[in-house]
Structure 1
Amino acid sequence: MDNTLVFYFDFMSPFAYLAHHRLTAIAERFGYVVQYKPIDLRQAKLAAGNTGPSNREIPPKLRYLATDMNRWAAAYGVPIAFPPSFDSDRINKGLFYAVDQGQAANYVSAAWHRVWGLGGDMSDEGLLREVASELGWPADEFLASTNGTDARQRYEDNNREAQSKGVFGVPTMMVGEQMWWGNDRLNFLVEYLESTAKAATGGAK
């Protein structure tokens, strides 16, 4: 059985940040491994035909989403604060260096804590240096990787793959061909994993 739980995300998304906090425990509970796949959210939306304004450009929706974010953060017991920038290109690409170091989950946690937990600037080299330092990496090498051709190619590959699978937003979670979009769909993911686990044991309780 393939026990991979694919997680498409963009560090600019607060709801992907929120989903991450619960997803780790869900994966561990059912014996799955989270495969982190950073994508460009704007590209995914455009590829799906969503050419409308971003949520940040719709004041009534933004006010509601800010309230909703805070409700979810309180429910999960995690901090949340708006960052000053939504330029996630380099911090997204930094994931590939983390994968090569075997520290993908640690990188995602460290980066998101600084961005949406503390409200840090995701495009700031200083923030990226802090993440590298926490994970024991040479900061200059890490920063160079985020601008390198390898990271760019892998990022493009992720975007193409996501679009080919019909991913139109983040967070998106996939197990095989099954897809769930949104932090508020995690309960449906849990139901699916429960039913899959039950079927694998012949329906035994």
Structure 2
Amino acid sequence: MTQSIDFVYDFCSPNAFLAHKVLPDLAAQHDVEINYVPVLLPIVFKATHNQSPFQAFSENRQKTAYLTHDLHRFARRRGLSFHMSPHFPMNTKFAMRGAHFAKGKSWETNYINAIFDAIWVHGQKVDELAVLVDILHENDLPVRKIREAMTGPDVKQDLKDQTKANVRRGVFGVPTVFVGTEMFFGKNSLPNVRVELERAQSD
């Protein structure tokens, strides 16, 4: 029986934000835990010769308009607060290092929620350390320890290594969810995650 699912994410992705918002209910319905797996999306893209859809279709106004509409429609139909960041695309390397440092700690979920919301609800510029520190203070997170992790060489290298390990696993973008060895990409694949969980738990 499946005990946990892996959620591979980078804060810079609006689709990852939306998947993050609905995944906990899906996991709770199937009595599984979410293992949050932070990666650096630029490294994923470079290794897989991929790019974000907004970049890939930057000269196609119809396509980019639809992509933006789809994000807002997904949020609206689920009652989620969502605003396209005025700073998109952004550099989230410091925030992602903090996420890697947060792994397994009691405040991990609080940290993830705080950073995702700062970007995609409140429009904050999280590629600036000073802004990140303010967010940590506002959410009663261990500011000094996280800030040290964000700028320290060990966490930096560990996160890069974890990113490359997930590329070897098959990850080419985010959000990606693993149910066992089955991989599902994108927020619109979450119904298939549900089906896979039901199948796995009926075995």
State TM-score, norm by structure 2.
0.89
Give the letter aligned to residue 137 of structure 2: S
How far is 1:139 from its partner?
Answer: 2.2
**2:186 counterpart (182, 194, 205):** 182
Is residue 114–residue 127 contact of structure 1 (8 Å, CA) maintained in 2?
no
Render the CA deviation track for 1:70-125: whole Å, top value 9, x for unaligned. Answer: 10110121111222151111111111232253222221111111110111112133
| Residues 17, 55 of structure 1: alpha-carbon distance in 2 compared, 3 angstrom cutoff | farther
Question: In 1, Cα distance between the equivalents of 2:75 and 2:196?
Answer: 24
Question: In 1, Cα distance between the equivalents of 2:171 and 2:100?
Answer: 20
Question: In 2, Cα distance between the equivalents of 1:28 and 1:157?
Answer: 30
Count the aligned residue pairs: 199
Query: Is 1:167 aligned to 2:168, yes or no?
Result: no
Matches within 5 A, 1:26-175: 26-50=26-50, 54-55=55-56, 57-60=58-61, 61-83=63-85, 84-85=87-88, 86-99=90-103, 101-175=105-179
Question: In 2, Cα distance between the equivalents of 1:93 and 1:56?
Answer: 29
How far is 1:142 from its partner?
Answer: 1.8
Gaps in structure 2 of 5+ consecutive residues: none
Gaps in structure 1 of 5+ consecutive residues: 200-205
| Residues 31, 45 of structure 1: alpha-carbon distance in 2 compared, 3 angstrom cutoff | same
Moved more, 9-18 or 32-41: 32-41
SS in 1 for 2:5: strand
Question: In 2, Cα distance between the equivalents of 1:30 and 1:196?
Answer: 10
How far is 1:132 from its partner?
Answer: 1.7
SS in 2 for 1:121: coil
Give the letter aligned to residue 124 of structure 1: E
State TM-score, norm by structure 1.
0.88
How far is 1:138 from its partner?
Answer: 3.8
Is residue 107–residue 131 contact of structure 1 (8 Å, CA) maintained in 2?
no
Is residue 48–residue 166 contact of structure 1 (8 Å, CA) maintained in 2?
no
Is residue 55–residue 62 contact of structure 1 (8 Å, CA) maintained in 2?
no
Moved more, 42-51 or 83-92: 42-51
| Residues 155, 56 of structure 1: alpha-carbon distance in 2 compared, 3 angstrom cutoff | farther
SS in 2 for 1:173: strand
| Residues 51, 179 of structure 1: alpha-carbon distance in 2 compared, 3 angstrom cutoff | closer
User: Which contiguous aligned blocks of 4+ residues in structure 1 show a shift greater than 4 angstroms?
Assistant: none
How far is 1:56 from its partner?
Answer: 7.3
Is residue 45–residue 51 contact of structure 1 (8 Å, CA) maintained in 2?
yes
SS in 1 for 2:6: strand
| Residues 58, 159 of structure 1: alpha-carbon distance in 2 compared, 3 angstrom cutoff | farther
Give the letter aligned to residue 169 of structure 1: G
Question: Kindly, what percent of the aligned residue pairs are identical?
Answer: 26
Give the letter aligned to residue 170 of structure 2: G
Is residue 97–residue 145 contact of structure 1 (8 Å, CA) maintained in 2?
yes
Moved more, 154-163 or 40-49: 40-49
SS in 2 for 1:16: helix
